[in-house]
Chain A
Amino acid sequence: MTLLDIIDKNLVIVPLTSSRRDDIIADLVNLYADRKGLSDEQRQYVIRAVTDRENMASTAMEKGVAIPHAKIPFLKKSAIVIGISRIPVDFGGKEKSGIFFLVLASEDNPTEHIQILSSIAKLCSSDIFIRMLSSSRTPDEVYQLFFD
């Protein structure tokens, strides 16, 4: 399974309006939880897992991209939630972040998780791709960018 297999236009937030790290994580997780029908307990588990990982070291990279992620034991399939913020926010990195890829990984397939994270990292090394992603106005535009 590749990145293109798990990207879902129903799991994209444009624009993200929160301005604090923990609120952004909650926004991204809540969208996933609502779409996939997670229980409140599961929702809280995911938020805690992602936040705990961020507390170890921020996943904010260069070019204003952050890739918060966690392994979730009750997930059958890996998932990505994409969020684009118009105003870059402090996500704990050297520079502020405006593009967020929340990657939730199933524990069953570590190879797949590595491949997905690696594809996102490679994509985000492209200045043009980042510029186009930042200027996307709708989930459809974000989704389509990956398939161009």
Chain B
Amino acid sequence: MKEKLEEIEELVNEIEVDILKLQSLFSNFLKKHLKGLIIENYIGEYPTFMEPVILGEKVKIGDDVLIGPYVYIGDNSEIGNYAELSNTIIFDNVRVGTNIKLDNCIVTKNCKLNFNNSNIKNCILKGIANSEKEVLKIYF
């Protein structure tokens, strides 16, 4: 699984992302490599998980959060209160603000979504943003 994730991470970090290749790798990772419920080491108070969900180390999860199905969250990432995540890969050290809904997204390493109340679909998210306008979005 790690190898597949590295492959996706490498691809999303390229200056010009090969969207067709990404779509195929992303869908293959979510549907074939992401399995079960690996959630042992999160920090938070019992969010809702719909498997498959795999969490890395020290993932912080806020109140009333809904995670899944088909979600991977990397080490040290932080998910704000009332967030909803499905069909999404979040890499390490990411921050997702309060009441943000992500579906079919890839959030790159160290990305900070420091804003609240958004519904974002079908894109790669990059950068440190204090409003939705500031996020670099690449639709796929």
- Answer whether A and B are interacting partners: no
Interface residues of A (CB under 8 A from B): none
Residues of B within 8 A of A (CB): none
